[in-house]
Chain A
Amino acid sequence: MNTYDIIIIGSGIVGSLTARALSRYDLKVLVIEKEIDVGMCPSSANSAVIHAGYDPKPGTVKAEMNALGNKLWHEIAPELGIEHRETGSMVVAIGENELPVLNELYERGIKNKIPELRILSKEEVKLREPLINPDISGALWAPTAMVIDPFGAVLAAAENAVTNGVKYSFETEFQDFIFEGGRITGIKTNKGDFFCRCVINSAGLYADEVAHKAGVRKDYKITPRKGSYMIFDPARFVINNVLFPVPSDKGKGILVSTTTHGNVLIGPNNEPCENKEDSASTASGLNEVARGAKKLIPSIDEKNCIAIYAGIRATGTGDRDFIIETPKEVSGLINLCGIESPGFASAPAIALRVIELLKETGIKFNENPKFNPVRRPKLHFHKLSYREKEELIKSNPAYGRIVCRCEEVTEGEIIDAINSPVPARTYDGIKRRTWLGTGRCQGSFDIPRVIQILSRELKIKPEEVTKKGKGSELL
């Protein structure tokens, strides 16, 4: 009954892409998630960039996973119908002092086998990015970097996994392992016990605590680090590329980019958190972000900001390299720990590495004959031509009723989100799937209407409709 071949803890990008990779095979797979939806933690609040891979130290797991992951994303994003833009990225040197850093990064990139890297002259950069700081001295151009819709990517992987037979269990919190001899044979959760042959620990911020419960990596600790972001009104200005400053010991720095949805995004800074759930943006953090972004694009005006938020990095200890391992002390466990940036870019490569490790444990990998790698992209009414809109409304009148005026999201799309393979059950679930409420008015117009729709479709009382799960009731 509650017996699986493999149980994955965490439905972030690593957990969900691993689930999807496993769904190619004839295996019984369960993903447990403590939140009410996929990718609620660092996987949806990040820079939305698939890094090219010149940044990690050569020879590290990070460097290897990033380079391969980037390559795989270029195949997976179209296959899974994930919104993405193949923009390329630039590390921008301001003033002559920063110029030598570009060469260092270029050399590192060559060692990491990153293709097509090139140093651009200041004239070339100005031509590509007219709003750039006039004091620019040059840039490292990495054409393989791309911008992605991060939540859309997690959802696409999860939906494809579910369509191919993987089971997801939400609001299911890992409590402990079940051992038999020296072997892990299952897990205890708030929803009961689940048994399996192998557990994959992709618990993100909590991967250290899960590992400790298995009695391994006792000295390993994940320290949450916060990064604030600001999102701008797309009508105001557009940036063509992903722009990074030259990196510092604090990381890749505060970037300026345009999301797949067309909004300029700036951030993140790097500051301590009170705890692993502390994703509160801070005034000082936002000021730092604005200052940092203006170093690259001086004309950015905070007045045009339409959303602010913060994400949390799962920063590991020691050399902070990714941990992808089958621990020696106990069998039936694979640890994926410290998957901070470039974790998103690396995730498809990590999923493949997990399969190699699982094969070594003796689990049989027979092909799943029903596996379908393709997931059709989500329908977005506002992107259609007038003729397509007309046809769509004829097929289903719910597409004629616009519920979110800024982003032009229809009732039909909301109902689709509620009835999808990984269904939206909250306001934020609909928001992340449809972009509803992400525009200038930030939901002031649509919230009363969405409360009605969720209440009707889920057959619950309006008072039971939540923003992001129990305890976040809107009324």
Chain B
Amino acid sequence: MKNCDVAVIGAGPAGLAAAIEARKNGAQKVIIIERNNEAGGILPQCIHNGFGSVLFKKDLPGPRYAHEFIKQARELGVEMIFDTMAIDITPNRKIYATNSRDGLLEIDSKSIVLAMGCRERTRAQIRIPGDRPAGVYTAGMVQRLVNMEGMLPGRKFVILGSGDIGMIMARRLVLEGAKVIKVLEALPYLTGLRRNYVQCLQDFDIPLSLGTTVKRIIGKKRLNAIETVKLDEKMTPAAGTEEIIECDTLMLSVGLIPENELSKKAGVLLDPLTGGPVVDCDMQTSVPGIFACGNVVTIYDLVDYVSKAGFIAGKSAAMFTAKNTESGGTIDIIPGDNVRSVIPQKLKTSGLLESVSLQFRVSREFNKSIAIYIKENGRIVKKSVRKYARPAEMLEITIEEKELKGINGQMQVQVAPND
């Protein structure tokens, strides 16, 4: 049996930031449980650049970004337990974990930060029928094989999904000597960041087919080919547009899902819109003393925002350890017109002293100027204008202390064209 002040599940960017901030805010014994044998989460396999533009004003590769946090966590005396899988969390903050060194670990923690990240959507979730050969892989798995294990799992790739990992891996595979025949995207627009389209596809002459998906997988043992089909505006396959493409690997980059199996065991309330825990402005979940941050809460576009959420969760967890702060605010924040989901979903009436940043995604593409409205029961609290908005990019709006004064009813985030 082990005791600690703050236990963090996952040593990825969210967990590291939370552990660091918990230590800085007075938590004495802070531990991180990590299933891999090193810290950084997905970052060590993200050897491309593009990390740190917000926090460090630099363009860093993933491992370098992670290093900043790993170094700081070590200096602050955060204990990291590697190669260890957390298998259960109880609502009264007991963690069961297992590894081959210590066997079954039982950890009682005064507060817990959930930072398990996300998993990738698979073939079955998008229901691609056909054979079940070797050679149909998710992008994150291919990235791990290529960048961490030094193994190339195919020679002729087709990539389904224009998400960031998909496009970055397209470039990576070309650099490793594989052929990337094309990238397919079912939606009529790009789902990843524009800069990745330019740097990873355009610069490497990799064609992108929008409004196209995989209809069928062909190959008894190893993938031989795929059949593609074009989709109309209603996302229905257009007959007669089928095409057979010979390839040995189909790489799927078709979205991420917050990984909340442990959260459910802990009794944490989940938001069906994000797939992650409902959190308040302190990143506290519906269960007192259990906090959550990063991709376990919602899928972020930039790691910098993941770290920022980790800072809040870590600080709040340390405060809870010191004096059991209340959980789950009383004011709901809900998505309005053209907004898919908002984080946090709750505001605390007792905590309305500092500014609060809301993060959200729009539900469709806006290529012209938009206005963001924060409303309380229909009354406009704040209006802010942006040049454009895309579902791929997360938007952030900060409500200042003075704007929060007097708010006690449901708040709504709305987006409309700025005419």
User: Could you tell me which A residues sit within 8 Å of B by CB distance?
Assistant: 228, 230-231, 235, 277, 279-283, 285-286, 302-303, 305-309, 386, 389-390, 393-394, 397-402, 405-406, 408, 411, 427, 440-442, 444-445, 447-448, 451-452, 462-463, 466-475
B18-26, B98-106, B301-309, B379-387 - interface stretch: B98-106
Q: How far is the CB of A48 from chain B (nearest CB, A)?
A: 17
A472:B131 contact, CB within 8 angstroms: no
B153 part of interface (Cβ distance < 8 Å):
yes
B220 part of interface (Cβ distance < 8 Å):
yes
A441:B120 contact, CB within 8 angstroms: yes
Known contacts A286-B129, A462-B151, A471-B222; A390/B134 CB under 8 A = no
Contact of A308 among B127, B152, B218 (CB under 8 A): B127
Q: Which residues of A contact B131 (CB under 8 A)?
A: 279-280
B174 part of interface (Cβ distance < 8 Å):
no
B145 part of interface (Cβ distance < 8 Å):
yes
B60-68, B136-144, B312-320 - interface stretch: B136-144
Chain A's closest residue to B138 (CB) is A444
B172 part of interface (Cβ distance < 8 Å):
no
Chain B's closest residue to A468 (CB) is B221
Assembled-state Cα–Cα distance A402/B84 (Å): 8
A390:B130 contact, CB within 8 angstroms: no
Q: Which residues of A contact B100 (CB under 8 A)?
A: 393, 397-401, 411
User: Could you tell me which B residues sit within 8 Å of A by CB distance?
Assistant: 35, 83, 85, 87, 96, 98-104, 106, 119-120, 122-125, 127, 129-134, 137-138, 140-141, 144-145, 148-149, 151-154, 215-218, 220-222, 257, 261, 264
Q: Which residues of A contact B140 (CB under 8 A)?
A: 444
B130:A444 contact, CB within 8 angstroms: no
B221:A286 contact, CB within 8 angstroms: no
B134:A474 contact, CB within 8 angstroms: yes
Q: Which residues of A contact B98 (CB under 8 A)?
A: 389, 393, 400, 402
- Quick one: which of A228, A427, A451 has the most chain B CB within 10 A? A451
Known contacts A441-B120, A444-B122; A390/B104 CB under 8 A = yes
Q: Which residues of B contact A475 (CB under 8 A)?
A: 145, 151-154
Assembled-state Cα–Cα distance A180/B398 (Å): 90
Assembled-state Cα–Cα distance A305/B129 (Å): 13
Q: How far is the CB of B296 from chain A (nearest CB, A)?
A: 14
Q: Which residues of A contact B264 (CB under 8 A)?
A: 235
Q: How far is the CB of B83 from chain A (nearest CB, A)?
A: 7
B138:A306 contact, CB within 8 angstroms: no
Assembled-state Cα–Cα distance A332/B100 (Å): 54
A277:B124 contact, CB within 8 angstroms: no
Assembled-state Cα–Cα distance A474/B135 (Å): 6
Assembled-state Cα–Cα distance A201/B130 (Å): 30
A400:B134 contact, CB within 8 angstroms: no
Q: Which residues of B contact A448 (CB under 8 A)?
A: 141, 144-145, 148-149, 151
5 contacts across the A-B interface (CB closer than 8 A) = A231-B124, A281-B130, A308-B123, A406-B261, A470-B221
Assembled-state Cα–Cα distance A231/B83 (Å): 30
Assembled-state Cα–Cα distance A473/B35 (Å): 27
Assembled-state Cα–Cα distance A307/B132 (Å): 11
Q: Which residues of A contact B96 (CB under 8 A)?
A: 386
Q: How far is the CB of B46 from chain A (nearest CB, A)?
A: 16
Q: How far is the CB of B270 from chain A (nearest CB, A)?
A: 11
A408:B221 contact, CB within 8 angstroms: no
Q: How far is the CB of B65 from chain A (nearest CB, A)?
A: 22
Assembled-state Cα–Cα distance A471/B248 (Å): 11
Q: Which residues of B contact A235 (CB under 8 A)?
A: 261, 264
Q: Which residues of A contact B218 (CB under 8 A)?
A: 280
Assembled-state Cα–Cα distance A130/B35 (Å): 39
A400:B99 contact, CB within 8 angstroms: yes
Q: How far is the CB of A150 from chain B (nearest CB, A)?
A: 16
Q: How far is the CB of B1 from chain A (nearest CB, A)?
A: 12
Chain B's closest residue to A463 (CB) is B151
Known: A402-B35, A475-B153. 4 other contacts (CB 8 A): A285-B129, A397-B103, A400-B100, A444-B120
B129:A308 contact, CB within 8 angstroms: yes
Q: How far is the CB of B273 from chain A (nearest CB, A)?
A: 14
Q: Which residues of A contact B257 (CB under 8 A)?
A: 440
Chain B's closest residue to A395 (CB) is B103
B133:A389 contact, CB within 8 angstroms: no
Assembled-state Cα–Cα distance A447/B129 (Å): 21
Q: How far is the CB of B144 from chain A (nearest CB, A)?
A: 5
Assembled-state Cα–Cα distance A468/B219 (Å): 12
Chain A's closest residue to B119 (CB) is A441
A440:B221 contact, CB within 8 angstroms: no
Assembled-state Cα–Cα distance A408/B145 (Å): 22
Chain B's closest residue to A401 (CB) is B100
Q: Which residues of A contact B124 (CB under 8 A)?
A: 230-231, 305-308, 442
Q: How far is the CB of A162 from chain B (nearest CB, A)?
A: 26
Q: Which residues of A contact B215 (CB under 8 A)?
A: 283
Assembled-state Cα–Cα distance A285/B123 (Å): 16
Assembled-state Cα–Cα distance A428/B152 (Å): 20
Chain A's closest residue to B264 (CB) is A235
- Quick one: which of B132, B145, B217 has the most chain A CB within 10 A? B132
Chain A's closest residue to B104 (CB) is A390
Q: Which residues of A contact B216 (CB under 8 A)?
A: 280, 282-283
Assembled-state Cα–Cα distance A146/B106 (Å): 38
Chain A's closest residue to B134 (CB) is A467
A281:B149 contact, CB within 8 angstroms: no
A281:B129 contact, CB within 8 angstroms: yes
Assembled-state Cα–Cα distance A448/B45 (Å): 13
Assembled-state Cα–Cα distance A378/B148 (Å): 33
Q: Which residues of B contact A441 (CB under 8 A)?
A: 119-120, 122
Assembled-state Cα–Cα distance A150/B218 (Å): 26
B103:A473 contact, CB within 8 angstroms: no
- Quick one: which of B129, B140, B149, B257 has the most chain A CB within 10 A? B129
Q: Which residues of A contact B104 (CB under 8 A)?
A: 386, 389-390, 393, 400
Q: How far is the CB of A98 from chain B (nearest CB, A)?
A: 29
Assembled-state Cα–Cα distance A303/B121 (Å): 11
Q: Which residues of A contact B152 (CB under 8 A)?
A: 475
Q: Which residues of A contact B145 (CB under 8 A)?
A: 448, 475
Assembled-state Cα–Cα distance A462/B151 (Å): 9
Q: How far is the CB of A440 from chain B (nearest CB, A)?
A: 7
Q: How far is the CB of A247 from chain B (nearest CB, A)?
A: 26
Q: How far is the CB of B257 from chain A (nearest CB, A)?
A: 8
Assembled-state Cα–Cα distance A306/B83 (Å): 27
B129:A397 contact, CB within 8 angstroms: no
A472:B133 contact, CB within 8 angstroms: yes
